[in-house]
Structure 1
Amino acid sequence: MIGAEVACPARLDPAGPGRNGPVSDGPEATSVRQRAEAVLRQLAGESAQLRADQWRAIEALVVEQRRVLCVQRTGWGKSAVYFVATALLRGPDAPSPAGPTVIISPLLALMRNQVAAAERAGIHARTINSANPEEWDEIAAAVHAGAVDVLLISPERLNNPDFRESVLPKLAATTGLLVVDEAHCVSDWGHDFRPDYRRLRSFLAGLTPGTPVLATTATANARVVTDVAEQLDPAGEAMVLRGTLDRESLRLAVHELPSPAHRLAWLAEQLDALPGSGIIYTLTVAAAAETAAFLRGRGYEVAEYSGRTEDADRRAAESDLLANRLKALVATSALGMGFDKPDLGFVIHLGAPPSPIAYYQQVGRAGRAVESARVLLLPGPEDAAIWRYFASLAFPAEEQVRAVLAALSEADHPLSTAALEPRVELRRARLELMLKVLDVDGAVRRVRGGWEATGAQWRYDHERYQQLSRARRVEQDAMREYVATAGCRMEYLRRCLDDPYAEACGRCDRCTGDAPPAEVSAAALTAAEAYLGQAGVAVAPRKMWPTGLPAAGVPLRGKIPAQEQAETGRVVGRLSDLGWGGPLRELLADGAPDQPAPAQLLAAVVEVLKAWAHGDDRWPQRPVAVVALGSQQRPKLVQSVAGHVAEVGRLPLLGTVPPGGSGGGRANSAQRVRALHGSFIVPPAVAGAFAEHPGPVLLVDDYIDSGWTMALVARELRAAGATAVLPLALAVTG
């Protein structure tokens, strides 16, 4: 059943070909296929042969110049299709050699792999992305000179004004084949929507008539396929080639363990038994760092990989895994697309992704060129809280969008994202995402110097955003069902992706009854609990005021003077930590009762203070007093911590700085400072005590989010006479 051409949403070939049959089997098609097979052997070895479905896609592109959407499983060989098609379109036997193939590719890791693969077939490939701006002019010249067969560009380039205005029109006019990799990113119904991909509409519109287009993905359900196909060809002429999504090498299993410590302990004991090298996925950056550090401490060669990892470190980690110098790469979804290691022996998830579609995407990294690969999910009760957090970063409410449009309309010059922040209550990442969507919708445009309003009418699509929100909740419920299902796990994932050929795999733990080893030794569990029970995270102080504050009526700019800054602070843990994260999230959750801190947490605070006093990065001088920061939601909690610290440290508790500010909440830094500036008043009794207790003070709060509350209160305490301010809190959100 591989490679069926199914009428998902798009119109099928009017000649009505059979499931794998070509439109024609005449001499031209035969000759093209022979040349295609020869290119494939250069690319993949002398024994390689095109499958019928791969040939059908190549024929549609090369012979028929069609627009094709390939929805095929990971490891199917989508890159072989467009590299072979490129060689045929540009080769000496082509009636009229085509221009270069342009591949829109989402991740640098994918680009690096594809450049190397292309060279094996004698195809010269180059990339234009954020990591090589110094090469852009030279690459553009080589493209126009005909010396480049394949040009890979990141979707972000499509939204760059200079690229869009000076490079894209010429590129579109000369492109011989356009390839859109990971095409589900085009659709906001997809699990990994990227607004920059929507710029493909203008690229498609600029293509010479008859230019073939190939879009590929392994993770698109029927709704996403419909959306992508319509964008690919609004006339409804796109061919959709959809095959089975089964992966015969994957052995899926789920293992439910009672705590993060059990999961780490199990992993430390079982990692050696897993085949080859693999990937361990986590839901958060903090979890990736903790897991990697713990496993290194247990003697494993592992590296971490996240959105915060420097590019050079990413490259090194990718190279080490490809060369099997690592047992595992501990990664967030930053590695979700684009990493290609055919012999990857296992994929483990510490925590469940928020949808079966995203899960299928990630586990598809494993087992592409090995007979058997292990795929294991270790879910946790904290997963749902992490899903809710990421869901809260969805498209902003209408009033916030209107505020951005109004700010841009009222400005007499383009506004950068930083300049917009003091005017709107959105954090940087959400603001940038929203601007890209508005840009695609025609309400704003990105120009040199920032953003400007177009004046075009724009409608907030309440119904669509509500549908998207409901769809995400359905996906989360489906992920819970994947964990609990009594049926075949692979069949379940394939049905979530609307695979018309879904059936029981006969390989997963439900089909075979073979469950993962359940035991965790007492020694391993003790080690994991001790590691996760360690308290203490340093929190760097704010040193620069946000951009644009004077325009918002706040007379602050540039660097915060040293005599007004807080010192580096400490917290017990991050809310995203595997260890302390759970108890802290429960204690600090919205609606949780305000109560004194539990004894275990107070003991952890004392351990943090001990390490702070005697560690390598110890405080510059021992504090002489404690000041509490007033809390509107948790006054009992904060006072219990401040009182305990004062008692244990034999320090005077000077009093409480009342809470200040209104609004701001989880807004961006500029809005937060504007809401808080001038609202904190140091009580006279506290200020007067500094003369009697000269020196540093500990400033105690429940948690640190943006860091601006601590920064502004520290500024007031320094002005009142404190020689230094040492922030101390239970948690940090980052």
Structure 2
Amino acid sequence: MTDNATSDASDSYRDAAEEILRRLAGAGAALREDQWRAIEALVVHRKRVLLVQRTGFGKSAVYFVATALLRGLGGAVGSGRAGGAGEGAVAGPTVIVSPLLALMRNQVEAAAGAGIHAATINSANVEEWAEIEKRIEAGEIDVLLVSPERLNNPDFRDRVLPELADACGLLVVDEAHCISDWGHDFRPDYRRIASFLERLGDDVPVLATTATANARVVDDVAEQLGRDSLVLRGPLGRDSLRLGALRLHSPAHRLAWLAGRLGDLPGSGIIYTLTVAGAEDVAAFLRSAGHDVVAYSGRTDTAERQAAEADLLANRVKALVATSALGMGFDKPDLGFVIHLGAPASPIAYYQQVGRAGRAVDTADVLLLPGPEDERIWRYFASLAFPAAERVDETLSVLAAADRPLSTQVLETRVDLRRNRLELMLKVLDVDGAVRRVRGGWVATGQPWAYDSERYARLAAQRSQEQQIMREYAAMTGCRMRFLREQLDDPYADDCGRCDGCAGRWYPDEAPADALAAAQEHLGRAGVVVEPRRMWPTGGAAIGV
């Protein structure tokens, strides 16, 4: 295609893209310049694009608009595949790899508003997979959302994935920082995307999006995307957020401050805790103080989580008291506040969580209430990182000696690792080719595998450095937003003029006396409530139980 022809095509696509966006976001919507640059690169030039933009920028609009253009929906120009069905032919469905079911539900609803037919394949709708596959073959599905965990489900990996890669018209990797083990939220399942990329034709565009990646993570993700990826990076400041940090005397003082001041915070919001037990305990205390709050964690049943999200979206509760399970993908534009009862171990994780607030309101309050116990929790979670070489060798030996696949539950009885850590290790070994997940569990492949001690040591040092940065953030007196943006290597970072470092404290610094007395009594109770398990542990026969 000549330069003039490319320019003419870009102009016609731009008009169509603006019309699609108005169907998505309303009559007054207009594409931002980097949104259009990404769409143009995907649709006209078939490039691989990494889009690093702040929360609320409209990254999802990029892939929905690009999908509509590629699919020729609603009068949009269908571009097909270069060298494929010909100019003007309709491309295959867009495949979006997305980490959370909540995000998938929101995306399906958003797509419908623009006439884009979306479906999901996830662990909650296995009975619908066959029908969805038929609809894909019939050309009735424009967007298919899959979780990264699906990419290594044996049935999906061996049967569905090859056909999906052949049909794919656009691949989207949402929350792409999860690909990088340098990132704050590395997920081994995301490494499976590499095998998907290898199957794609050279003319299939790829979009990776994130709001939380520093320069090292950006470089890592771009390298994995390959093919001279176009990186579009914008300013990460959030004009609506008013940041602050308040160090109080004790856990009782922090709990009392929260109980006494929660009603004064704008709208409804999220209170983050560092542990599941913390979320449940804080929620119980706040309810006893008369506040309408709900606990939310990875241990919460799916139906209860969906109900809690719906209640917060509709402002039927003042707050969800949540762990990091409520993070990526939860979209409430008018969220009025985010409070952290305890500091996360990473400034980038902190930026991602506070980014839930203030997307469609002029001001949202963000406050960190750190405590000395935070560091003990950091050390505990650090101890759950990738196991030592001895534990890896032990697991590989057990699998090699087995005459059948071993489930994670059975392996847990034969190696000195707890479930979560064992699952993380197996996923990494699977990506590296040392083990393989099959029907019935895990098997050793016999391929050589070397423990990369130097890399794991560098990662541990990186995590330690991130913890030190959070200590500095809690104690600093300068601009907090600028500090966070600098940790993300944002070249546009400047003073916000709104945080407590720029404009002075905007929050009271004492807990009400009556709330303090109640908090001290609550924390002084003897013993803890132990809920009965819903399922008897498996694998007992292997140890004579």
User: TM bucket by the smaller chain?
Assistant: over 0.9
Residue 81 to residue 23, structure 1, CA distance change in 2 (3 Å): farther
Check if 1:336 corresponds to 2:327: yes
**Distance (whole Å) between structure 2 residues aligned to residue 248 and residue 297 of structure 1:** 35
1:710 corresponds in structure 2 to none
1:255–1:376 contact (8 Å) kept in structure 2: yes
- 1:208 Cα deviation after fit: 2.0
2:524 corresponds in structure 1 to 533
Give the 5 Å matches for 1:27-176.
27-91=8-72, 92=75, 93-94=77-78, 95-176=88-169
- Secondary structure of the 2:413 match is helix
- 1:548 Cα deviation after fit: 4.2
Residue 540 to residue 317, structure 1, CA distance change in 2 (3 Å): closer
2:359 corresponds in structure 1 to 368
Residue from 282, 290, 300 that aligns with 1:299: 290
**Distance (whole Å) between structure 2 residues aligned to residue 398 and residue 24 of structure 1:** 57
Give the 5 Å matches for 1:257-268.
257-268=248-259
1:219 corresponds in structure 2 to 212
Residue 179 to residue 545, structure 1, CA distance change in 2 (3 Å): closer
1:185–1:192 contact (8 Å) kept in structure 2: yes
Unpaired runs of at least 5, structure 2: 79-87
1:578 corresponds in structure 2 to none
Residue 544 to residue 171, structure 1, CA distance change in 2 (3 Å): closer
**Distance (whole Å) between structure 1 residues aligned to residue 536 and residue 303 of structure 2:** 30
2:409–2:538 contact (8 Å) kept in structure 1: yes
Residue from 435, 440, 450 that aligns with 2:426: 435
**TM-score (norm: length of structure 1):** 0.71
Residue 369 to residue 550, structure 1, CA distance change in 2 (3 Å): closer
- Secondary structure of the 1:37 match is helix
Q: Which amino acid aligns with 2:426?
A: L
- 1:537 Cα deviation after fit: 2.2
1:186 corresponds in structure 2 to 179
- 1:140 Cα deviation after fit: 1.6
**TM-score (norm: length of structure 2):** 0.95
**Distance (whole Å) between structure 2 residues aligned to residue 200 and residue 288 of structure 1:** 33
- Secondary structure of the 1:85 match is helix
**Distance (whole Å) between structure 2 residues aligned to residue 157 and residue 444 of structure 1:** 17
**Identity over aligned residues, as a percent?**
70
Runs of 4+ with >3 A deviation: 22-25, 538-551
Q: Which amino acid aligns with 1:73?
A: R
- 1:69 Cα deviation after fit: 0.4
Give the 5 Å matches for 1:400-419.
400-419=391-410
Q: Give CA-to-partner distance per residue, 1:213-255, whole Å, 9 cap, x none.
A: 000001111111111111111x4x0111111111111111111
1:189–1:223 contact (8 Å) kept in structure 2: yes
Aligned residues: 532
Q: Which amino acid aligns with 2:544?
A: P
Check if 1:555 corresponds to 2:544: yes
Residue 300 to residue 448, structure 1, CA distance change in 2 (3 Å): same
- 1:98 Cα deviation after fit: 0.7
1:721 corresponds in structure 2 to none
**Distance (whole Å) between structure 2 residues aligned to residue 445 and residue 123 of structure 1:** 36
- 1:418 Cα deviation after fit: 2.0
Give the 5 Å matches for 1:276-425.
276-425=267-416
**Distance (whole Å) between structure 2 residues aligned to residue 240 and residue 265 of structure 1:** 46
- 1:478 Cα deviation after fit: 0.3
- 1:419 Cα deviation after fit: 2.2
- Secondary structure of the 1:49 match is coil
2:6–2:44 contact (8 Å) kept in structure 1: no
2:81 corresponds in structure 1 to none
Check if 1:513 corresponds to 2:507: no
Give the 5 Å matches for 1:480-519.
480-519=471-510
- 1:357 Cα deviation after fit: 0.3
- Secondary structure of the 2:202 match is coil
Check if 1:228 corresponds to 2:243: no
Please say which of residues 410-419 and 349-358 is displaced more in the overlay: 410-419
2:150–2:156 contact (8 Å) kept in structure 1: yes
- 1:25 Cα deviation after fit: 7.8
- 1:461 Cα deviation after fit: 0.5
Residue 549 to residue 266, structure 1, CA distance change in 2 (3 Å): closer
Q: Which amino acid aligns with 1:126?
A: A
Which structure has more relative contact order (CA 8 Å, sep 6+)? It is 2
Q: Which amino acid aligns with 1:493?
A: L
Larger radius of gyration: 1
